[in-house]
């Protein structure tokens, strides 16, 4: 029984894959990653431009640490030499030598009205104070300098990530969860910041501290060094073990807490449903259940802390005990053995002080280890992102699209978001400039995909899309988008005023331009009905603007650029019938001389289109005008009957 | 991520492992010791000096409480756990006592060693060595004792915090569930989530910390000062001198850096907003070809932030050496005094070392005062907002001992109902109509005419300012809210599903519904087919980490959810907007069968839905302008006919 326990205990020290790497962040990605040469090379790549500065910082840090680490030696001198006051200490003796060289009597250095002890103590404290002043000045420099470099690296990284994200095409955004993309630019970079700004610096400092302390201990007395230094590795391993267990426990706390907070958040957002279905009591029970788990998880961490913290301090403390006992023995022993070098009380106290310098870093290394792995995971993800190639990019010699007339032609286009699963099959149509095209069909038949292809959000796997006879692939994206207006289903608005949102694509438009565009679309009055009219601030998913009103704003935004090609993807689904009618009256005039694609469920929008394409499962199954299709009495006629309720 | 896991050892480190302040080599981020926190891992990411902010950046003032009243109310959260609180304070004080005793014992050991050396009668120190062995053994015992003590205080302190937070959360949770719609209308859910999570956590941290840390600080300052004073009263006096200066400087720094940190945080928030908007609205950015503009915007913010970061870096780089300088100066002064006294035989080497240790411990602990004062400022702001939630009165008060709604066919009568979310601006005015049990009523009218509002009044989510609403001839204000809402199946315009399995979502209003009932409801709502196509059918989990459904599918689930409760009255508030016409048609057919004897209210834009209603009510600007059957309304030349003709024109 005991042996098995012991075996299990020791197995944990094996350098097997640390359980840390099993942890995931809230987005389901690995939170930790073992060291990896390629990732380190990547991180080094970001730091490389500042390598000289880093070197300087390390050197300054080394000097500062060295200066601060003289302290126990001053203490030693204070106790061994200064207080007994039998002879001048090192500083006074040096000063005496200088005085002798200047042919001054030794008395000038320490006049006799005060005892030698007082002069000794004064000299030591003064030099000590000077040393500390220098060290603190160096620290000030180092803090400022190192942090600034770290922040520069970090901000460069932020810039690179954002710039790169902007260059990626829609397929990246489709395939990657919103939360993950968000993490890339925010918490991932912050975690790395911790590492690049503080972690490396702390590592270097701690390494120096520990090495110097160990060196001094060995140098001062190798016997005591032998007796205590082995505790270092023991403490390190114990700390590692503790970090692992507490890390796992904290992970559970975090997971449990996430459950508590999600439950709470969900019930607040869904409060109306809660009230309507009388769930208050049950919900509280569920919530308190989650809370109890949370309490239990926290108590587990408290238990682990309660056990390990004293254990760790006992190991640290036993070093001090060894130093005290062994030191005391040495003090007495060398005092009576006249042949041996005297081991003094001052030395004992200095060793006692150096022990803290040795143990502190050992503990810090344990923390540093998990920090590093966390930074590695973030760095790796950042590198993966930066290595992503945009799927749709301007071809090398792409020319700017000239002012277009707006003829759109699909030549046998095949497309799937995943090439293995085609969404569009052999789409082939030709639209003359200025025509209005309606795309009709059930949900999921590919209407929106056709619109996205015209926008060049994706590239077809086969076939070509031509605008005014020019292949979309041969023109620059920017020149294409400048001449298009898109109102999509998602009707996304940015934080800011309605006014700013409308002129989003044309920042140079004046207020009057915006009002004029809204008037032409007959939605000026509807926007003026908002709390502060055009100055109303739109918040993300905020309640200040209703769904229908959002659509109107998007509509005006698309129209303001005076586009040659207008794409309306379910643009008015949430607008009430009355407003939609007004909009359509306006549209009838506005679409007159631009090519327009309309996707709509409500077929009332379709009636006036010059071409109706009926889609089913990614194929065009019928095409014609509203009337010719009704006469065909096919799919379209059926859809139309369903819509008007005549079925 | 590891903020909390690091905070414990770090906080301890200042106390035990590193008692010599000159040995500190701390980076600015830990210049002030982090707060111990057991719960709410996220809150630790923010620095303790950060003021709490709301989602929209504004703090909603709750003017009626003074800071003192707020403090008193906050401290009341201790009441339910006061026994535990006393225990924690005791354990903490004992822990400090043990630590001081340990330091004192070390001093005695060192003194004995040097004394024995100076004593001519014990040249070999052989006899004294035994005494030292005993003393060190005693020291070991003390350390063991303090280990046991720290184990129990770790458990007790966590328990204290957790019990407090449990109680507070349960209270605010229930309050939020019952406070009513008006309150939720006035606050975005983000704001309320913040109130219940981070504001609550701020208060709890402050209350917990103020209690425990103050005891600890007091114990440290008193304990170590007594230690110094017993060594030498003059040294004890000297050790008190730097304290006011020390506190003043830390306070001054924190006052100076706070506004800058606040600004930095705002910039950081803006940065995240721009970033996330660019991800969420990427199609707009691409469609408008504004990538360069966005990059410029982001970089501008980054530049501003970099400037602010450099300012704070500079401030920290000035602060840390100075604060350490003060500590060093006080240490050196004490060493100087101690050494002088020792030279004259008043003190021994061990005493001098302990002077430094004690001074370091006192100053290190006193830094905590600043943490508490920052936490206090944060907590006051948070408390104002938190109590605003906690003390909000429910907007639809229930009569004491209200009876349940008596059974009936589902007659609904509105008589002269006037209501406005803001009483000064009525949304619906003088609404009167009555509906036979079992009939289908369609509400039609432009956006903002008050259709949804009328329905919410029916379920008593709000009370009208004047007028009466009767269900089966009973005033709805006189019956128990539970029974009223049990009898009304509500399908909201904005579908909200919980991240749970589909089956559990459907049986949300009727947790005891059998699987067969759930499936039957899903079939009626035309949801069964798509549910069966999902990987785990009815056990598929919805939500962020689960499957996402289209708008139409969600609406069908929420219809099924309403059907399962078997309501007397069903309200479909534009519930079919995202469903395509064919499915809508099927749903209506199915509903007609089941809900033959139920009263149904439908709010819809599509004419096809409206045509078959027994009664069509046309609302314009909060008033009923037309009412009757489709055919009757088509005969009048009103809004209805206008809309209908436009939809039918083809």
| B388–chain A nearest CA distance, Å | 16
Pair B371, B416 in one domain = no
Rounded average pLDDT over A632-646: 73
Domain assignment present for B535: yes
Q: What is residue A431's predicted lDDT score, i.e. its pLDDT?
A: 86
B110, A324: Cβ pair inside 8 Å?
A: yes
Q: Which domain holds residue B473?
A: 412-648
Closest-CA residue of chain B to A85: B343
B139, A321: Cβ pair inside 8 Å?
A: yes
Instruction: Give the tens place of pLDDT for each residue, B128-163.
Output: 777 878 888 888 888 889 889 988 988 888 888 888
pLDDT confidence tier of residue A44, bands split at 50, 70 and 90: confident
Task: Say which CATH topology domain A406-483+566-572+595-647 has.
Answer: Rossmann fold (3.40.50)
Closest-CA residue of chain B to A143: B317
**Does residue B35 have a pLDDT over 70?**
no
pLDDT confidence tier of residue A241, bands split at 50, 70 and 90: confident
Closest-CA residue of chain B to A200: B27
B176, A267: Cβ pair inside 8 Å?
A: yes
Domain assignment present for B48: no
Q: Tell me the whole-structure pTM to 2 decimals.
A: 0.73
Instruction: Give the tens place of pLDDT for each residue, A536-564.
Output: 777 654 445 666 777 788 888 888 888 88
Instruction: Give the tens place of pLDDT for each residue, B216-257.
Output: 888 988 888 888 888 888 888 887 888 888 888 888 887 888
| A352–chain B nearest CA distance, Å | 10
Pair B598, B560 in one domain = yes
Instruction: Give the tens place of pLDDT for each residue, B522-572.
Output: 887 777 877 877 777 887 777 654 456 666 777 788 888 888 887 888 888
* DSSP 3-state of B446: coil
Domain assignment present for B163: yes
Pick from B356, B390, B424: which residue ends a domain? B390
**Rounded to whole angstroms, how far apart are CA atoms B593 and B602?**
16
Neighbours of B67 (CB within 10 A): 12
Residue B495 dihedral angles phi and psi, to the nearest 5°: -70, 135
**Range of A278-287, B63-72, B119-128 with top mean pLDDT:** A278-287
| A512–chain B nearest CA distance, Å | 21
pLDDT confidence tier of residue A127, bands split at 50, 70 and 90: very high
B162, A481: Cβ pair inside 8 Å?
A: no
Rounded mean pLDDT of chain A?
80
More confident position, B14 or A460: A460
Pair B474, B580 in one domain = yes
**Rounded to whole angstroms, how far apart are CA atoms B3 and B38?**
11
A139, B324: Cβ pair inside 8 Å?
A: yes
Q: What is residue A18's predicted lDDT score, i.e. its pLDDT?
A: 40
Rounded mean pLDDT of chain B?
76
Q: What is the phi-psi region of residue B261: left when phi exceeds 0, alpha when psi lies from -120 to 50, beta otherwise?
A: alpha
Q: Is A391 on the interface with B (CB under 8 A)?
A: no
Pair B74, B217 in one domain = yes
Domain assignment present for B559: yes
Q: What is residue A572's predicted lDDT score, i.e. its pLDDT?
A: 66
Instruction: Give the tens place of pLDDT for each residue, B288-321.
Output: 777 888 888 889 988 998 998 888 888 888 888 8
B485, A275: Cβ pair inside 8 Å?
A: yes
Pair B358, B420 in one domain = no
Query: Could you say which of B162, B349, B649 has the minimum Cβ distance to residue A298?
Result: B162
Q: What is the ipTM of this complex?
A: 0.79
B459, A345: Cβ pair inside 8 Å?
A: no
A310, B148: Cβ pair inside 8 Å?
A: yes
pLDDT confidence tier of residue B30, bands split at 50, 70 and 90: very low
**Rounded to whole angstroms, how far apart are CA atoms A158 and B613?**
59
**Rounded to whole angstroms, how far apart are CA atoms A255 and A294?**
9
A186, B126: Cβ pair inside 8 Å?
A: no
With a CB-CB cutoff of 8 Å, which residues 363-382 of chain A face chain B?
A: 363, 367, 370-371, 374
Domain assignment present for B50: no
Q: Which residues of A touch B29 (CB under 8 A)?
A: 194, 198
Rounded average pLDDT over A333-340: 70
The tokens describing B60, both together, are 């909603």
B20, A163: Cβ pair inside 8 Å?
A: no
**Range of A118-132, A428-442, A473-487 with top mean pLDDT:** A118-132
**Which of B16, B31, B101, B289 to substitute to test the interface with A, most A CBs within 10 Å?**
B289
**Rounded to whole angstroms, how far apart are CA atoms B436 and B443?**
15
**Does residue A130 have a pLDDT over 90?**
yes
Rounded average pLDDT over A130-140: 91
Q: Is A137 on the interface with B (CB under 8 A)?
A: yes
Q: Do B206 and B372 meet the contact criterion of CB atoms below 8 Å apart?
A: yes
Q: Which residues of A touch B496 (CB under 8 A)?
A: 269-270, 272-273
Q: Is A338 on the interface with B (CB under 8 A)?
A: no
Domain assignment present for B353: yes
Q: What is residue A134's predicted lDDT score, i.e. its pLDDT?
A: 94
Q: What is residue A131's predicted lDDT score, i.e. its pLDDT?
A: 92
A577, B647: Cβ pair inside 8 Å?
A: yes
End-to-end CA distance of chain A: 79
Q: Which residues of A touch B544 (CB under 8 A)?
A: 179
The count of C-alpha atoms lying within 13 angstroms of the C-alpha of A243, restricted to the half-sphere facing its C-beta, is: 25
Q: Which residues contact B361 (CB under 8 A, 6 or more apart)?
A: B15, B19, B99, B103, B220, B224
Q: Which residues contact B50 (CB under 8 A, 6 or more apart)?
A: B261, B262, B265, B378
Pair B341, B485 in one domain = no
End-to-end CA distance of chain B: 61
Domain assignment present for B202: yes
CATH of span A222-342? 1.20.1560.10
The tokens describing A155, both together, are 């901000």
B85: domain CATH number is 1.20.1560.10
Q: Is A644 on the interface with B (CB under 8 A)?
A: yes
pLDDT confidence tier of residue A129, bands split at 50, 70 and 90: very high
B9, A367: Cβ pair inside 8 Å?
A: yes
Q: What is the phi-psi region of residue A123: left when phi exceeds 0, alpha when psi lies from -120 to 50, beta otherwise?
A: alpha
Q: What is residue B51's predicted lDDT score, i.e. its pLDDT?
A: 40
A309, B12: Cβ pair inside 8 Å?
A: yes
Q: Which residues of B touch A311 (CB under 8 A)?
A: 147
Whether the domain at A30-221+364-391 and the domain at A487-562 fall into the same CATH topology: no
Q: Indicate the CATH number of A30-221+364-391 among 2.30.31.70, 3.40.50.300, 3.20.20.70, 1.20.1560.10.
A: 1.20.1560.10
**Rounded to whole angstroms, how far apart are CA atoms B274 and B51?**
22
Q: Is A131 on the interface with B (CB under 8 A)?
A: no
**Which of B9, B19, B25 to substitute to test the interface with A, most A CBs within 10 Å?**
B25
Instruction: Give the tens place of pLDDT for each residue, B394-420.
Output: 777 777 777 887 787 778 888 888 887
More confident position, B583 or B505: B505
Q: Is A211 on the interface with B (CB under 8 A)?
A: no
Task: Say which CATH topology domain A487-562 has.
Answer: Rossmann fold (3.40.50)
**Rounded to whole angstroms, how far apart are CA atoms A597 and A451?**
8
Pair B380, B419 in one domain = no
Instruction: Give the tens place of pLDDT for each residue, A222-233.
Output: 888 888 888 888
**Which of B6, B9, B143 to substitute to test the interface with A, most A CBs within 10 Å?**
B9
Instruction: Give the tens place of pLDDT for each residue, B578-601.
Output: 666 667 777 777 777 776 778 888
Pair B208, B317 in one domain = yes
Domain assignment present for B502: yes
Q: Which residues of B touch A178 (CB under 8 A)?
A: 276, 279-280
Among B513, B509, B520, CA closest to B558: B509
pLDDT confidence tier of residue B505, bands split at 50, 70 and 90: confident
Beta strands in A450-602 (DSSP E): 462-467, 470-471, 484-487, 496-497, 537-538, 565-569, 595-599
Pair B192, B282 in one domain = yes
pLDDT confidence tier of residue A249, bands split at 50, 70 and 90: confident
Q: Which residues contact B379 (CB under 8 A, 6 or more apart)?
A: B74, B202, B203, B205, B206, B207
- Beta-sheet pairing, B440-444 with B615-620: parallel
**Number of inter-chain CB pairs under 8 A, A vs B:** 473
Neighbours of A627 (CB within 10 A): 11
Q: What is the phi-psi region of residue B607: left when phi exceeds 0, alpha when psi lies from -120 to 50, beta otherwise?
A: alpha
Q: Is A563 on the interface with B (CB under 8 A)?
A: no
Instruction: Give the tens place of pLDDT for each residue, B623-650.
Output: 888 878 877 777 777 777 777 776 665 4
B435: domain CATH number is 3.40.50.300
Pair B228, B183 in one domain = yes
pLDDT confidence tier of residue B26, bands split at 50, 70 and 90: very low
**Domain layout of chain A by residue ranges:** 30-221+364-391, 222-342, 406-483+566-572+595-647, 487-562
Rounded average pLDDT over B174-179: 80
Q: What is residue A2's predicted lDDT score, i.e. its pLDDT?
A: 60
Closest-CA residue of chain A to B138: A321
Rounded average pLDDT over A21-41: 66
Pair B305, B224 in one domain = yes
A325, B132: Cβ pair inside 8 Å?
A: yes
Rounded average pLDDT over A92-119: 80
Q: What is residue A27's predicted lDDT score, i.e. its pLDDT?
A: 56
Instruction: Give the tens place of pLDDT for each residue, A584-603.
Output: 777 777 777 788 888 876 66
**Does residue B433 have a pLDDT over 70?**
yes
Q: What is residue B42's predicted lDDT score, i.e. its pLDDT?
A: 41
Q: Is A99 on the interface with B (CB under 8 A)?
A: no
Closest-CA residue of chain A to B134: A325
Tally the domains of chain B: 2
Bridge partners (DSSP) of residue A51 are: none
A186, B272: Cβ pair inside 8 Å?
A: yes
């Amino acid at each position: 029984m005991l042996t098995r326990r012991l075996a299990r205990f020791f197995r944990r020290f094996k350098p097997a894959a640390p359980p840390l790497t099993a942890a995931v962040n809230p987005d389901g990605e690995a939170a930790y990653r073992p060291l990896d040469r390629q990732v380190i090379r990547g991180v080094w790549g970001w730091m490389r431009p500042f390598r000289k500065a880093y070197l300087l910082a390390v050197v300054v840090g080394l000097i500062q640490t060295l200066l601060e680490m003289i302290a126990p030696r001053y203490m030693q001198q204070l106790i061994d030499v200064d207080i007994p006051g039998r002879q001048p200490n090192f500083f006074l003796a040096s000063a005496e030598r200088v005085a002798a060289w200047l042919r001054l009597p030794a008395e000038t250095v320490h006049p006799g009205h005060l005892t030698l002890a007082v002069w000794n103590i004064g000299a030591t404290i003064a030099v000590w104070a000077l040393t500390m002043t220098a060290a603190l000045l160096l620290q000030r420099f180092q803090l400022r300098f190192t942090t600034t470099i770290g922040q520069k690296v970090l901000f460069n990284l932020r810039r690179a990530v954002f710039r790169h994200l902007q260059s990626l095409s829609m397929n990246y955004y489709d395939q990657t969860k919103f939360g993950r993309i968000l993490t890339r630019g925010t918490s991932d970079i912050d975690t790395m910041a911790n590492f690049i700004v503080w972690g490396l610096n702390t590592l270097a400092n701690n390494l120096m501290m520990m090495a110097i302390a160990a060196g001094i201990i060995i140098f001062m007395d190798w016997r005591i060094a032998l007796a205590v230094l082995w505790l270092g590795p023991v403490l390190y391993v114990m700390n590692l073990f503790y970090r692992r267990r507490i890390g796992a426990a904290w992970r559970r706390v975090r997971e449990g807490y996430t459950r508590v907070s999600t439950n709470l958040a969900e019930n607040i957002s869904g409060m109306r449903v809660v009230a309507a279905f009388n769930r208050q009591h049950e919900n509280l029970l569920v919530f308190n259940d989650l809370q109890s788990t949370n309490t239990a998880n926290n108590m587990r961490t408290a238990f682990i802390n309660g056990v390990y913290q004293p254990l760790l301090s006992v190991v640290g403390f036993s070093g001090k005990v060894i130093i005290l006992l062994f030191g005391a023995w040495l003090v007495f022993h060398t005092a009576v053995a006249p042949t041996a070098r005297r081991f003094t009380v001052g030395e004992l106290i200095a060793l006692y002080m150096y022990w803290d310098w040795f143990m502190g870093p050992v503990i810090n290394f344990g923390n540093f280890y998990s920090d590093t792995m966390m930074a590695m995971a973030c760095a790796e993800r950042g590198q993966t992102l930066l290595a992503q190639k945009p799927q749709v990019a301007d071809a090398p010699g792409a020319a700017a699209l000239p002012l277009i007339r707006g003829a759109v032609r699909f030549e046998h286009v095949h497309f799937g978001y995943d090439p293995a699963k085609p969404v569009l099959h052999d789409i082939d149509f030709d639209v003359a400039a200025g025509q209005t095209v309606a795309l009709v069909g059930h949900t999921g038949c590919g209407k929106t995909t056709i619109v996205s292809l015209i926008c060049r959000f994706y590239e077809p796997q086969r076939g070509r899309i031509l605008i005014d006879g020019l292949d979309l692939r041969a023109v620059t994206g920017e020149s294409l988008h400048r001449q298009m207006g898109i109102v999509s289903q998602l009707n996304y608005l940015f934080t800011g005023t309605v006014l700013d949102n409308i002129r989003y694509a044309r920042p140079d438009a004046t207020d009057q331009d915006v009002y004029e565009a809204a008037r032409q679309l007959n939605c000026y009055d509807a926007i003026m009905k908002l709390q502060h009219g055009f100055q109303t601030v739109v918040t993300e998913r905020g309640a200040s603007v209703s769904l229908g009103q959002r659509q109107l704003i998007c509509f005006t935004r698309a129209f303001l650029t005076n586009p040659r090609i207008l794409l309306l993807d379910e643009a008015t689904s949430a607008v009430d019938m009355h407003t939609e009618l007004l909009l359509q009256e306006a549209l009838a005039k506005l679409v007159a001389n631009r090519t327009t694609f309309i996707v709509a469920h409500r077929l009332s929008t379709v009636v006036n289109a010059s071409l109706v394409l009926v889609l089913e499962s990614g194929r065009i199954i019928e095409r014609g005008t509203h009337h010719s299709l009704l006469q065909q009495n096919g799919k379209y006629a059926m859809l139309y009957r369903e819509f008007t309720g005549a079925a | 991520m590891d903020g909390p896991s690091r905070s414990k050892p770090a906080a301890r480190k200042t106390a035990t492992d590193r008692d010599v302040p000159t040995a500190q080599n701390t980076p600015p981020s830990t210049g002030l010791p982090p707060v111990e926190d057991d719960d709410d891992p996220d809150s630790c990411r923010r620095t303790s000096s950060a003021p709490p902010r709301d989602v929209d950046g504004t703090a909603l003032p709750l003017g009626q409480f003074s800071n003192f009243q707020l403090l008193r109310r906050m401290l009341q959260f201790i009441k339910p756990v006061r026994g535990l609180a006393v225990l924690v304070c005791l354990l903490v004080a004992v822990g400090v006592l043990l630590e001081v005793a340990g330091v004192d014992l070390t001093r005695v050991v060192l003194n004995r060693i040097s004394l024995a050396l100076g004593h001519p009668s014990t040249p070999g120190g052989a006899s004294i060595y035994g005494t030292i062995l005993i003393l060190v053994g005693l020291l070991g015992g003390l350390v063991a004792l303090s280990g046991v003590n720290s184990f129990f205080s770790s458990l007790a302190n966590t328990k204290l915090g957790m019990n407090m937070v449990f109680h507070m959360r349960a209270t605010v949770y229930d309050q939020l569930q019952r406070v009513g719609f008006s309150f939720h209308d006035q606050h975005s859910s983000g704001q309320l989530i913040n109130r219940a999570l981070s504001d609550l956590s701020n208060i709890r941290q402050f209350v917990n910390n103020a209690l425990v840390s103050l005891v600890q600080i007091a114990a440290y300052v008193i304990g170590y000062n007594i230690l110094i004073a017993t060594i030498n009263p003059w040294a004890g006096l000297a050790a008190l001198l730097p304290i006011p200066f020390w506190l003043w400087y830390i306070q001054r720094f924190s006052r100076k850096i706070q506004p800058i940190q606040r600004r930095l945080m705002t910039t950081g928030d803006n940065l995240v907003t721009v970033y996330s908007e660019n991800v969420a609205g990427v199609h707009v950015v691409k469609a408008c070809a504004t990538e360069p503009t966005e990059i410029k915007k982001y970089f501008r913010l980054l530049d501003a932030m970099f400037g602010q970061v450099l300012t704070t870096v500079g401030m920290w780089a000035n602060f840390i050496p100075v604060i350490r300088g003060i500590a060093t100066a006080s240490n050196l002064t004490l060493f100087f005094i101690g050494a002088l006294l020792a030279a004259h035989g008043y003190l021994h080497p061990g005493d001098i070392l302990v002077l430094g240790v004690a001074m370091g411990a006192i100053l290190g602990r006193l830094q905590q005062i600043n943490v508490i004062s920052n936490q206090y400022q944060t907590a006051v702001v948070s408390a104002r907002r938190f109590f605003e939630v906690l003390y909000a009165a429910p907007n639809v008060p229930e009569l004491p001992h209200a009876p349940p709604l008596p059974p009936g066919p589902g007659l609904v009568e509105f008589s002269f109902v006037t209501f406005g979310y803001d009483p000064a601006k009525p949304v619906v005015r003088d609404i009167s109509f009555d509906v036979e049990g079992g009939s289908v009523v369609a509400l039609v009218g432009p956006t903002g005419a008050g259709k949804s509002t009328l329905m919410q009044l029916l379920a008593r989510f709000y009370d009208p300012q004047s007028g009466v609403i009767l269900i089966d001839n009973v005033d709805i204000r006189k019956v128990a809210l539970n029974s009223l809402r049990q009898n009304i199946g509500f399908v909201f315009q904005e579908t909200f599903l919980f991240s749970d399995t589909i089956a559990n979502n459907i049986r949300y209003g009727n947790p005891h519904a059998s699987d067969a009932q759930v499936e039957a409801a899903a079939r009626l709502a035309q949801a069964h087919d798509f549910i069966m196509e999902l990987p785990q059918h009815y056990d598929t989990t919805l939500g962020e980490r689960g499957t996402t459904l289209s708008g139409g599918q969600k609406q069908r689930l929420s219809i099924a959810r309403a059907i399962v409760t078997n309501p007397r009255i069903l309200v479909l508030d534009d519930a079919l907007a995202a469903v395509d016409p064919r499915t809508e048609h099927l749903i209506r057919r199915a509903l007609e069968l089941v809900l033959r004897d139920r009263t149904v209210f439908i709010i819809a834009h599509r004419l096809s839905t409206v045509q078959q209603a027994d009664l069509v009510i046309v609302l314009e600007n909060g008033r009923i302008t037309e009412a009757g059957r489709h055919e009757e309304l088509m005969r009048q030349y009103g809004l209805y006919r206008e809309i209908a003709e436009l939809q039918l024109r083809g």
